[in-house]
Amino acid sequence: MKKEVLIILHPDFEEIEAVTPIDILRRAGLIVHIASTSNDLEVQSKGGIQIKADSLLSDHEHAIYDALVIPGGPEIFKIRDHSMIQKKIREFHKLEKCIACICAAPLLLLDQGLNQTFAMTCHPSVQAEFPALHPEATVRDKHIITSKGAGTAVPFALAIIKTKQEVQIERLSRFQVRVMNKTNRAMKFNFSEAVKLSLRAISRIFNINLRSVFIIS
């Protein structure tokens, strides 16, 4: 199953910080949904470039994807109180889904208090708002990714791809001990039951249906 990413476009977004992740993520085989924060699909960037979003952000109110990406730009200050964006950040964080913010967009994470738990960086123009910042240009701390700006858009996008792979591995590690314990207990009674337990766990972790390959009752 292909991973899906939601990229939020707001008025006066920094075009390099949006287009670069869109291009790289799609080249990597991810499904990218581009959502506009306004009531219009046409969104104008900081440089005056019009980009047509796939949908409105309001269309994704109840949708949860594998990653949330927010580019920066001078209008970030105007969307800091955007209720839908705040809701999405809280939802993705609760589920430990990747949240990637670049340039001034890490301010949206600061407003949710996430800087108290995760290492972050941001554009120099807004760094005064952060009590502490990581010195690297692109910072990945578990499922939270932040980056300085347009000049770091490529490593920012690559970090999103890398995070998706590592989160899967981390999720597998969390279940490994429990799966092994269950498997060991089951093997004392029935080997086939032990195999079923392992397959069910793998199916849950990676959201795949193994019924087409194995018979799992």
Residue (of 185, 216, 155) closest to 16 by Cα position: 155
Residue 109 CB contacts under 8 Å (≥ 6 apart), including other chains: 89, 99, 101, 115, 118, 120, 144, 146
Q: How far apart are CA 209 and CA 98, in angstroms?
A: 23
* Each residue's pLDDT tens digit, 63-92: 989 999 999 999 999 999 999 999 999 999
Q: What is the mean pLDDT of the chain?
A: 85
Secondary structure class of 63 (helix, strand, coil): coil
Task: Give me the pLDDT at residue 1, please.
Answer: 80
Q: Are residues 206 and 133 in the same domain?
A: no
Spatial contact of 140 and 4, defined as CB atoms under 8 Å apart: no
pTM of the model: 0.77
Which of 98, 101, 103, 122 is the catalytic position? Answer: 103
Task: Give me the pLDDT at residue 179, please.
Answer: 52
Residue ranges making up the domain that contains 203: 174-212
Does a structural domain hold residue 217? Answer: no
Task: Give me the pLDDT at residue 210, please.
Answer: 45
* Each residue's pLDDT tens digit, 188-217: 445 455 445 555 655 555 555 544 433 433
Query: Catalytic site residue 98?
Result: no
DSSP 85-147: HHHHHHHHHHTT-EEEEETTTHHHHHTTTGGGTS-----GGGGGG-S---SSSEEEETTEEEE
Return the CATH number at 87: 3.40.50.880
State yes or no: pLDDT of 134 exceeds 60: yes
Provide the domain count of the chain: 2
Q: Are residues 53 and 91 in the same domain?
A: yes
Q: Are residues 55 and 146 in the same domain?
A: yes
Per-residue pLDDT band for 130 (boundaries 50, 70, 90) equals very high
Task: Give me the pLDDT at residue 164, please.
Answer: 57
Q: Are residues 13 and 111 in the same domain?
A: yes
* Each residue's pLDDT tens digit, 2-47: 899 999 999 999 999 999 999 999 999 999 999 999 999 999 999 9
* Each residue's pLDDT tens digit, 167-194: 554 544 455 545 555 545 544 445 455 4
Does a structural domain hold residue 208? Answer: yes
Q: Are residues 192 and 159 in the same domain?
A: no
Task: Give me the pLDDT at residue 215, please.
Answer: 40
